[in-house]
Each structure stands twice: as C-alpha cells, then as structure tokens.
Amino acid sequence: SYDLAQPPSVSVSPGQTASITCSGNELGSRYVSWYQQKPGQSPVLVIYRDNKRPSGVPERFSGSNSGNTAALTISGTQTMDEADYYCQAWDRRTAVFGSGTKVTVL
C-alpha cells in the first residue's frame, strides 16, 4: 500500500512561517490536496492540485510538490491557523491520507 508520512507536530510563532511536509514515493508525480481540521469541525480544503487555492482560502496558504515531498506553507501564521492538517493523494484509485500534523501557534 502507498504511505504518506507527515510530522506529528509543528510549532510556529504568530507571524512566522509554518511548513508542513508530506512524503511519499514519487509523490511529485501525483496531485496532492491539503485539508485543515479544527477540533470538533469537519475538514476544510485549503490546497488542491498541489498548489491551487480554493476561493475563500487566505493567500498565506501555499503548496508545492516535487520529487518525493509535498509541502504546505503558511506564511504569516495566525492563531486561527492552529489546527490539524492532512495531506492526501490518490494511489491506484484509492485515496490515501497522511497521518496528520498538528500545528500549534504560540
């Protein structure tokens, strides 16, 4: 089965840049999506097709994907960005998720 690896946690100070990685074999050859989930809420799409931002998602969210690693970058992180973030890709018609990264803003 295809695995996506994410760091369990990332800490960032308000106003600084947070970077969350997602690693998988030849991940750069697949499209990656990123989802934000706050406690008790449903996930929300923040990046699709590696680096596309849905309408309504702040410009401080950006994505990249190359080689074996995709990344979600939050520039000028705000306290409201504190959440779990999941990467996702497709492998043989199956959606695969990373285990999630908890972003703490302190």
Partner 1 sequence: QVQLVQSGAEVRKPGASVKVSCQPSGYSFSANYMQWLRQAPGQGLEWIGWINPNSGGTHYSQKFRGRVTMTRDTATSTAYMELSRLQSNDTAVYFCARDAGFGGEGWFDPWGQGTLVTVSS
Pair 75, 58: CB distance under 8 Å: no
Q: Are strands 18-23 and 61-66 parallel, antiparallel or unpaired?
A: unpaired
Burial of 46 (C-beta count, 10 Å sphere; 0-12/13-18/19+) = buried
Does the footprint of partner 1 cover residue 94 (CB under 8 A)?
yes
Q: Which stretch binds partner 1 (CB under 8 A): 10-18, 64-72, 75-83, 88-96?
A: 88-96
Q: From the CB of 65, what's the least distance to partner 1, in Å?
A: 13
Q: Determine which helix (DSSP H) or strand (DSSP E) holds 13, and give its type and residue range.
A: none
Nearer residue to partner 1 within complex by CB, 53 or 60: 53
Q: From the CB of 91, what's the least distance to partner 1, in Å?
A: 10
Could you say which of 33, 36, 65, 77 contacts partner 1 (CB under 8 A)? 33
Instruction: Pick the closest to residue 77 from 64, 56, 62 (CA basis).
Output: 62
Q: Which residues here bind partner 1, judged by CB under 8 A?
A: 33, 35, 42-45, 48-49, 54, 86, 88, 90, 93-100
